[in-house]
Chains A and B, each alone.
Chain A
Amino acid sequence: MYANEMEDKVVSPEKAEEAKLKARYPNLGAKPGGSDLLRKRLQKGPKYFDSGDYNMAKAKMKNKQLPSAPTEKAEITGGHIPTPQDLPQRKTSIVASKLAG
């Protein structure tokens, strides 16, 4: 009994960091390594304006308010109506590598 009480007082640095994170983001899911994180990883890459997605999203949102601009970490899927801020910058033209300079 006594030994267990002593262990509880010593919080591992990882658990302390976890407590900090949960305090800042109370809505964070219970399964962190699970589907959400992985699916976000699978879907990496900038998504461009897609008129099909846009119209489907508008149809879904017909009776609801348009969603506000998402936070940085949001996934851009069919349910999201792209705004000009979401579109990535135009790529620079191809030049030689500076390593070869």
Chain B
Amino acid sequence: MAGAGGGNSDVQWCFSQVKGAIDDDVAEADIISTVEFNHSGELLATGDKGGRVVIFQQEPETKNQPQCRGEYNVYSTFQSHEPEFDYLKSLEIEEKINKIRWLPQKNAAQFLLSTNDKTIKLWKISERDKRPEGYNLKEEDGRYRDLNTVTTLRVPVFRPMDLMVEASPRRVFANAHTYHINSISVNSDCETYLSADDLRINLWNLEINDRSFNIVDIKPANMEELTEVITAAEFHPNQCNTFVYSSSKGTIRLCDMRASALCDQHAKQFEEPEDPNNRSFFSEIISSISDVKFSHSGRYMMTRDYLSVKIWDLNMESRPVETYQVHEYLRSKLCSLYENDCIFDKFECCWNGNDSVVMTGSYNNFFRMFDRGYRQDVTLEASRENSKPRSVLKPRKVSTGGKRKKDEISVDSLDFNKKILHTAWHPLDNIIAVATTNNLYIFQEKLN
């Protein structure tokens, strides 16, 4: 089968666009650190290590090209965060954007939350396509007219102008995190959101930036006793009282904010029992969960650890209902992956719009899709070699045994510097955004 997606096993993926510089010499600031579609899929935001946000907007579909959906073009770009310095600890605070989360749209403007290690900001992105002209007292360039020359009264009128998109910071939520923020999540109530760092989770009101409530605190009294950290957190998509957080030990805790103000006692704990015979030095490291995402339905959640993606039914804590191996062939390379720090890479994962397919990244600019219904998976590659417009992506295969077939790539030839950590799936259509180190690829389903 050529592809996997949308519950239909015949989906084929085509190259649509690629954004970013072609040259191999990557400036650190250009490393993409987060990718997120908004709730309608019309806007696609990226954040990078240089603290910049770039937002792309999908062009409306035209009659000229019915075989593909609209392209994404730059809509707005701004500097969200700047490098800061913590004088007390002599530590630099990176401007890298760790996460972007869109708010559901309520009026003409769009809002998003962006965060670095310490500070969350609410940005308003608004359009201006009209401007007032014909002021009574001002010239067109803004200078005030000499009052002696004003003899008549005229009222300014709004005339169309070239579209201008403005981004302005509306709130800055600072000084609430001692440790590094790894997640933000907007509540379904659209009034609150959570921010999580390595040891604590805080609850904010979007309107109030000088106060937040601490809802989870796993910091031990004695730091020598530290055994696990929080790796990701997310609100339930429609139950505003429920959120989950994952840990470096491979557990997920579900909390109910109605139970108590401080949710240190979890309502549910999801953990897959480990076979004690198989325990090794690497077991805990590779079980660390790098991402957790609820399904759109709210019935399931997905976790990503180093080698696999797991789907959990919220009604069953004892083990996941589905497990997908992303790159099991790396299990026999763990020693070198530990030495080059790759074992600590934090891969994200995402669901398609109807929760039938899940996607995650791997090395060598490969990314994987798992079709839950058809029990099929596919490996695709984001590379400039496959970047002819509308060219269909060919499935890739990593050879694990001794014999390498033609077109397969051996494990030792994989480029571990080419990692796909961030991927996003359009909420409604089969359009995906895949970030390599410094390029953003957009792929679309082949339409006939």
The one of B48, B225, B280, B438 in contact with A15, judged by C-beta atoms closer than 8 angstroms, is: B280
Which chain B residues lie closer than 8 Å to A18 at the CB level? 280-282, 334-335
- Tell me whether B248 and A33 are in contact (CB under 8 A): yes
Is B278's CB within 8 Å of the partner chain A? yes
Find the A residue at minimum CB distance from B288: A33
Is B361's CB within 8 Å of the partner chain A? no
Which chain B residues lie closer than 8 Å to A64 at the CB level? none
- Tell me whether A32 and B285 are in contact (CB under 8 A): yes
Type the 1/0 row for A6-47, where 1 means its CB is closer than 8 Å to any CB of B: 000000111111101110100010001111011101101111
- Tell me whether B440 and A99 are in contact (CB under 8 A): yes
Least CB distance from A97 to B in Å reads 4
Which chain B residues lie closer than 8 Å to A12 at the CB level? 278, 280
- Tell me whether A14 and B282 are in contact (CB under 8 A): yes
Q: Considering the chains assembled together, what is the distance between the CA atoms of A18 and B229 in angstroms?
A: 23
Is A84's CB within 8 Å of the partner chain B? no
- Tell me whether A42 and B179 are in contact (CB under 8 A): yes
- Tell me whether B52 and A96 are in contact (CB under 8 A): yes
Which chain B residues lie closer than 8 Å to A45 at the CB level? 91-94, 117, 180
A14-B334 contact given A34-B227, A42-B229, A46-B91, CB 8 Å threshold: yes
Least CB distance from A90 to B in Å reads 11
Type the 1/0 row for A74-95, where 1 means its CB is closer than 8 Å to any CB of B: 0000000000000010011011
Categorize the interface residue count of chain A: 35 or more
A22-B281 contact given A17-B333, A41-B229, A91-B83, CB 8 Å threshold: yes
Most buried by B among A12, A16, A33, A46: A33
A21-B82 contact given A42-B179, A99-B48, CB 8 Å threshold: no
Q: Considering the chains assembled together, what is the distance between the CA atoms of A33 and B199 in angstroms?
A: 16
- Tell me whether B226 and A96 are in contact (CB under 8 A): no
Which chain A residues lie closer than 8 Å to B217 at the CB level? none
Q: Considering the chains assembled together, what is the distance between the CA atoms of A97 and B49 in angstroms?
A: 10
Least CB distance from A9 to B in Å reads 14
B contact face: mostly helix, strand, loop, or mixed = mixed
The one of A21, A38, A48, A96 in contact with B229, judged by C-beta atoms closer than 8 angstroms, is: A38
Is A5's CB within 8 Å of the partner chain B? no
Q: Considering the chains assembled together, what is the distance between the CA atoms of A99 and B46 in angstroms?
A: 9
Find the A residue at minimum CB distance from B27: A92
Type the 1/0 row for B158-198, where 1 means its CB is closer than 8 Å to any CB of A: 00000000000000000000011000000000000000001
Type the 1/0 row for A40-67, where 1 means its CB is closer than 8 Å to any CB of B: 0110111111100100000000000000
The one of A17, A35, A100 in contact with B224, judged by C-beta atoms closer than 8 angstroms, is: A35
- Tell me whether B226 and A97 are in contact (CB under 8 A): no
- Tell me whether B280 and A97 are in contact (CB under 8 A): no
Which chain B residues lie closer than 8 Å to A50 at the CB level? 90
Find the B residue at minimum CB distance from A33: B284
Is B110's CB within 8 Å of the partner chain A? no
Type the 1/0 row for B312-350, where 1 means its CB is closer than 8 Å to any CB of A: 000000000000000000011111001100000000000
- Tell me whether B91 and A14 are in contact (CB under 8 A): no
Find the A residue at minimum CB distance from B26: A98
Is B396's CB within 8 Å of the partner chain A? no
A46-B229 contact given A17-B335, A32-B281, A98-B20, CB 8 Å threshold: no
Q: Taking A14-B283, A18-B335, A91-B83 as given, write out 5 further A-B residue pairs in contact, using a Cβ cutoff of 8 Å, ordered by the A residue number.
A: A14-B334, A21-B338, A33-B227, A94-B50, A101-B21
Using a CB–CB distance below 8 Å, which chain A residues touch chain B? 12-18, 20-22, 24, 28, 32-35, 37-39, 41-42, 44-50, 53, 88, 91-92, 94-101
The 7 residue pairs across chains A and B that have the minimum distance between CB atoms: A33-B284, A50-B90, A13-B332, A17-B334, A17-B335, A20-B335, A98-B21
